[in-house]
Amino acid sequence: MVSVGIVGASGYTGAELLRLCAQHPEFDVQYATGDTQAGTLARVLYPSLAAAYPNLVFQEFDAARAQEMDLVFLGLPHEASLEVVPQLVGKVRCVVDLSAAYRLKDAASYPQWYGFTHTQPALLAQAVYGLPELFRPELVDANLIATPGCFVTAASLALTPLVRSGTIEATGIIVDAASGVSGAGRSLKHSSLFSTVDEDFTAYGLLDHRHTPEIEQVTGAQVLFTPHLAPMNRGILATCYARPSQKTPTTASLLAELARFYSKEPFIVVGKTSPSTKATLGSNSVHLTARFDERTGYVMVIAALDNLAKGASGGAVQSANVALGLPETMGLSQVGMYP
């Protein structure tokens, strides 16, 4: 068994990690922190966890206790992860960070996009990007994994195959994506109150959303990214538009190219049907489709996923499986909950 610690387990990604670890045959959660909820039973904050964790109590973070684990997941704010990671790397077998603290390879990008100075350039260079479908070889035996942003996972899996092959131009790409409210986290704020979100649909982060440089880093393309908040709990739907390169594709050729690229990927579904967020609910799957519009000359690729599963905690578990030499699908579902 792999002893697991979850630092920041009282947030939504932490609760999702607890859910996924409970169904993982090799993961044994022995330590879960939640400084704002220290002393609280996990089952009180999240009754959904009661059967699997009847006696688990959220604790305050203690580096020495975390260092006793084989695997540690970090569900912390970016700057908190920046400080915690150096205390764990080299002490535990694998650290999987769900914040953005170790995602961007250029440390100079952090003041502009995240508002803080990156103080760990050596660890930043060491961190492996946690998207197995695109970076699997680098994840084997990784000691530090940076889990992608949820929007980034959707956009990158939709666009990267076509950018790498030269099927689409690597400039002028537009990504419009909608997320469920859980993407904003558990903290109480006006923008995520029921009365604010219900029966509303709004764009935010116009021109400067912090996932923009991450999408560009992964895809190798220039992107105009606009996120939207949708009145649903979970899910991401990303609609991506790009110009074809010199050779004009067809809808059939685009679907065939995506299907070939992901032919051996257990969590990627490529089909003609337009993806829906509900079809991926609770699963680690990503549903993709593509079209070529002869009238306007645009390529369109659409991706749907669960922002807390494949877009965060599920992707983190998948990457940890690869790093630890376990079957990649272990503890993860390919099937969504429906209805």
What's the full length of the chain, in residues?
339
Contacts of 64 (CB under 8 A, 6+ apart): none
- Answer yes or no: 240 catalytic: no
Do strands 298-305 and 173-179 pair parallel, antiparallel, or not at all (unpaired)? unpaired
Strand partners for 129? 146
φ, ψ of residue 32 in degrees (nearest 5): -140, 125
Q: Cα(118)–Cα(150) distance, rounded to whole angstroms? A: 22
Cβ distance 284 to 315 under 8 Å?
yes
CB burial readout 35-66, b (16+ within 10 A) else e: eebeebbbbebbeebeeebeebebbebeeeeb
How remote is the C-alpha of 8 from its chain's centroid?
A: 16
Strand stretches in the chain, DSSP E: 2-7, 27-32, 71-74, 94-97, 128-129, 144-146, 173-179, 202-203, 223-229, 236-242, 268-270, 286-293, 298-305
Q: Which of 21, 94, 150, 240 is catalytic?
A: 150
Sheet strand arrangement including 94-97: 27-32, 2-7, 71-74, 94-97, 144-146, 128-129
Q: Cα(64)–Cα(326) distance, rounded to whole angstroms? A: 26
Residues recognised as catalytic: 150
